[in-house]
Each structure stands twice: as structure tokens, then as C-alpha cells.
Amino acid sequence: MPAVAASTTSPTATASSTFTVIAICAGVMVLGLIAGAGLWMTAAMTVALVVGGGAFLSTQWSDFVIAEREDAPGVGQDMAVVIGSRIPISIAVTNQGRLPVVWVLAEDLMPRLTASEAEETDSTSELYRAAPLTIDGPRLAVMTLWPGQTKHLRYTIVCKRRGYYQIGPTVLETGDPVGMYRRYRLGTRPMFLCVLPKIELLSTYEIGSRRPIGEIRIRSNVMPDPTRLRGIRKWQTGDPMRSVHWAATARTGTLHSKIYEPSSVIGATIVVDMHVSTNPNRNEPFRTDLSITAAASIAAALHDAGEPFGLATNGRDAADRIREEGFRGDHRVSDPFLVRSSAGASAAMRSENDRLRPVVMDVDRGPLHLQQMTRTLARLERTDGLTLPEFLIESESRLSNETTLLVILQQAPAETIGALVGFARRGWAVSVILNSLDLDQYTSVAGPLMAEHIQVAHLSDEKSILDVCRQQMMR
């Protein structure tokens, strides 16, 4: 963010200084009258005019210069775009007063990486730590405005990575011609940009739950699917009467029974681990974005198949973070000289967040549900709150046991493995997608999970997303 000098003097101190200067000028004029020194009187009047005129002009220029964001979404709405989109931003700055404004500086604030993220950047992750947004054109300009004149601040935002970003607010800075006074104000409210994650097209998805009567044929099941007839055979003792094939029985004169294929539904509750302890900084943002891409791709595949899907994660929602920590309105009410620094802090992100409220979307179908889930995935950020085992314990009552619990994670310590094994032993259908480039790490995690009949897929890069769900679940 370009640096602009900002006054750190409080309004009370400024008013006190102005009163002091005027009082001194008045005293000098009185002494001049007594002593008959016209030069003293002229100097005092000049200083008083400069001080008073500067205060008047800076106030007038600040009050009558307004800014308006053009083609922006409405209040409370965000703009959803895909990766690679170019978003033109146009801000109109207008002088509504009767006096010309000699200078006004308009700057549209932008989010940036936190100090902790910048400090922990190393050479191995520098390749992937590209700026999520790039700016084409100036977002800061100094303008001279005649009465009624409008000038524009135009630039373009290029979306490089998924995420939820606050664009703005626009800060206006002006002052008197000699630089004795500075005035700051918020010209426009911020807009919010939601960059949706990339979605890969999955040719097949074959991870089934333990709920029968579905779309995937499996080898063994306690309950066959009466909608999938595989063949007929002679009736045997113990066969229920409802399975008798009456047409074959009438044709042959011998009782015959229907043979059904066991099957399972392919719906899933996608669980994404976003805790900082199991999503280390050295892998960011590449690995987290890969988890989000995999989750969005699986949800899109389930939507195309007409199957139910849901989402559960211990990550934080960036929209909640901005509501709690970000822009809160015009800061001039409390301190007009700290508007610029306060607005800048509103556009920044805290390095720590101890969010303890899980993000859970109930299992559902339909395009609206997919749209809401994709936007939620786009806004997800890592958190310092609940670990994955704590999150699963906290949210178990809200998770659907009729769909597969599909867990996407980067690291699986002993506590996580224990929690997943516990779910599997309590009758849940659990599958794991390990997002790791290290084959040894995948082997060490997959071993104890496969021993408990939990399917584990290896997500190494974007190309492997097409293969992680093609292995059929064996029951």
C-alpha cells in the first residue's frame, strides 16, 4: 500500500494549537497598536488569516468532496467471480461545493498478506506464494477539482487465487494549501469479492456409504437392493416370499427366487481440515487451495449425479471474520484524524483467529445448494480454533450418517487417526483423502486406517483429483 503522510495529532490538540496561534496573533496586534508598530500588526493579521483560511478551506474541501463506487454490488452482497477474472473498478470523485479544491488524494485500500505470513515465507514455498490479487493501473491519485467537476480513479483487479477479499474502503485526504491542516474521510464503503475455487470435472465418483439401495454395486451387503435385479435361481429354504419370481415359477412349475445386487448411495459429507497445526505454513497456500479444489470438484460431481452432499469444516469463514474484525463504518465519529489508519487496519487480516464455531452445511441436493457450498469453500481460511478430532466430536450430532464421511486433510496425527477409526467402528462409512506430496507420509497414515477398512486416497496434485474417487468402496 503506498505510503501517505498522515497526521497523528488529535482533534483536541489541533483545536488547542489553532486557538494558541490566534491568541498570540491577537496579543501581537494589541502590542502593535500600543507601540504603533504597523509591521507587527501586518504580520499578526497575515498569520491569523493564513491559519483561519487554512482551517476553513480544509474543512470545506473535506465536506464537499464525495466518492462513489460505480458498478458495485449492493450493500450486504458480494461479487462472485472465477479464478483468472479481471474486475474493472471505477470510483467517481466529485466536488459538490462552490469552491475549487486545489488537491485531494483518493486511495482505494486493498488487502495484503499479514506480517506473520511474510516472515514465515521461505524459498521452498515462494513459488506458490503468489499474490491472490494483482492490480493493473493506479488505485491512488491526486486530483484538482473545480466546482461540480468529477474525476475517476480506475484500475483492474486480476484474480489469481480463490478467496474472499475486501476491496476498499476509499479514503479521501485533503488539506489547506500550506499544509497546516489535514483532513481524512471515508469516501465509499468497501465491496467484497468472492473468488470461487477451480472445479475439476470428475468422470467417475465411486465412494459409497453404508446406506443401501443406491447407485453403486458393491460385493457384499447385509441388505440387497430390490431395485437392481441380477438374475433368478431356484427357491431355497429361507427365501422370503416377496422374492419369489412368479413369472418364472408359473412358466417352469418350480419356485424360483429373484437375486438382487447389493448397492449403496454415493452421497458424501465432505469434511475439510483447516487447522493451522495440520496445515503448516510451508505448504501454503498451495495445499489448502488443493483441498478446496478437490472438495468443490466432488460436490459438483455429486450434484451432476443428483446425489446428496454436505460440508463440514473447522476452518473460519472469511465473511464472518470481516464482519467481526473488518470495516465498521465511518471512523470520523470518534477521531477524524485516524480515519486512514483505521480503514487500513480494517482491510488487513489478523494473523491469529481462535474461531470455535464449526462451519457445517446440511446434506442436500440441487444447484442452489452447490452454489452456496462453492461460495463457502471459496471463503474458507485456516484457523487456530478446533483441531479435527475436537471438531468431529463437537459436530457429530450434525453430521449425516447416511452418507460417506469423506475427510480431506494434510496431516493425520495419532489423535486424528483415533477419531476416524472411532467413527468407523461406530458404523460410519469413512473415507480419507490425504493431501500430501510425500509418499512416505501417505504410507504412514494410510497403514493404520486401511487396517480398519477405511479407504485412503492420495491427493498429490491437481491431476490426481481425477483419480482419487475412482476406486470402488469394498464392503
Kindly report, residue by residue over 222-271, the tens digit of the pLDDT: 445 555 566 788 888 878 887 888 888 888 888 888 876 554 556 889 99
Mean pLDDT of the chain: 77
Residue 214 located in a structural domain: no
CB 215 within 8 Å of CB 265 = yes
Minimum mean pLDDT among 90-94, 183-187, 219-223: which range? 219-223
Count the domains in the chain. 4
According to DSSP, the β-strands at 191-196 and 79-82 are parallel
pTM: predicted TM-score of the whole model, two decimal places: 0.73
pLDDT at 266: 66
Q: How far is CA 340 from CA 170, 210, 331, in A?
A: 9, 57, 9
C-alpha cell at 61: 474541501
Residue 329 located in a structural domain: no
Nearest to 318 by CA among 379, 378, 361, 376: 379
Chain center to CA of 387: 19
Q: Which CATH number does the domain housing residue 103 bear? A: 2.60.40.10
> What tens digit of pLDDT does each residue of 119-174 get?
444 434 444 456 888 888 898 999 999 999 999 999 999 998 999 988 888 999 99
Residue 3 located in a structural domain: no
Q: Which domain holds residue 439?
A: 268-315+355-466
Residue 295 located in a structural domain: yes
Helices 38-64 and 11-35: crossing angle in degrees, nearest 10, is: 150
Decide if pLDDT at 414 tops 70. yes
Residues 378, 246 share a domain:
no
Residues 19, 72 share a domain:
no
HSE, side-chain direction, 13 A CA sphere, residue 180? 20
C-alpha cell at 231: 438374475
Q: Which CATH number does the domain housing residue 457 bear? A: 3.40.50.410
Nearest to 398 by CA among 319, 299, 318, 310: 310
Residues 282, 407 share a domain:
yes
Mean pLDDT of 78-95: 92
HSE, side-chain direction, 13 A CA sphere, residue 452? 22
Longest CA–CA span in the chain (Å) reads 138
Residue 16 located in a structural domain: yes
Residue 105 located in a structural domain: yes
Residues 169, 51 share a domain:
no
Residues 432, 297 share a domain:
yes
Decide if pLDDT at 314 tops 70. yes
Decide if pLDDT at 220 tops 60. no
Residues 6+ apart with CB under 8 A from 10: 335, 337
Residues 446, 297 share a domain:
yes
Residues 442, 382 share a domain:
yes
Minimum mean pLDDT among 73-87, 146-160, 208-222: which range? 208-222
3-state secondary structure the chain: CCCCCCCCCCHHHHHHHHHHHHHHHHHHHHHHHHHCCHHHHHHHHHHHHHHHHHHHHHHHHHHHEEEEEECCCCCCCCEEEECCCEEEEEEEEEECCCCCEEEEEEEECCCCCCHHHHHCCCCCCCCCCCCCEEEECCCEEEEEECCCCEEEEEEEEEECCCEEEEECCEEEEEECCCCCCEEEEEEECCEEEEEECCCCCCCCCCCCCCCCCCCEECCCCCCCCCCCEEEEEECCCCCCHHHECHHHHHHHCCCEEEEECCEECCCEEEEECCECCCCCHHHCCHHHHHHHHHHHHHHHHHHHCCCCEEEEECCEEHHHHHHHHCCCCCHHHCCHHHHHHHHHHHHCCCCCCCCCCCEEEEEECCHHHHHHHHHHHHHEECECCCCHHHHHHHHHHHCCCCCEEEEEECCCCHHHHHHHHHHHHCCCCEEEEEECCCHHHHHHHHHHHHHCCCEEEEECCHHHHHCCCCCCCCC
Residues 88, 34 share a domain:
no
Q: How far is CA 443 from CA 77, 415, 439, in A?
A: 45, 17, 6
Rounded CA separation 330/323 (Å): 15
Residues 450, 359 share a domain:
yes
Residue 20 located in a structural domain: yes
Length of the chain: 475
Rounded CA separation 457/448 (Å): 14
Residue 218 located in a structural domain: no
Residues 381, 364 share a domain:
yes
Q: How far is CA 121 from CA 110, 225, 276, in A?
A: 21, 54, 15
> What tens digit of pLDDT does each residue of 320-359 get?
877 666 554 444 333 444 555 555 555 554 445 555 678 9
Q: Where residue 117 falls among pLDDT bands split at 50, 70, 90?
A: very low
CB 461 within 8 Å of CB 290 = yes
Residues 462, 378 share a domain:
yes
Residues 368, 279 share a domain:
yes
Decide if pLDDT at 291 tops 80. yes
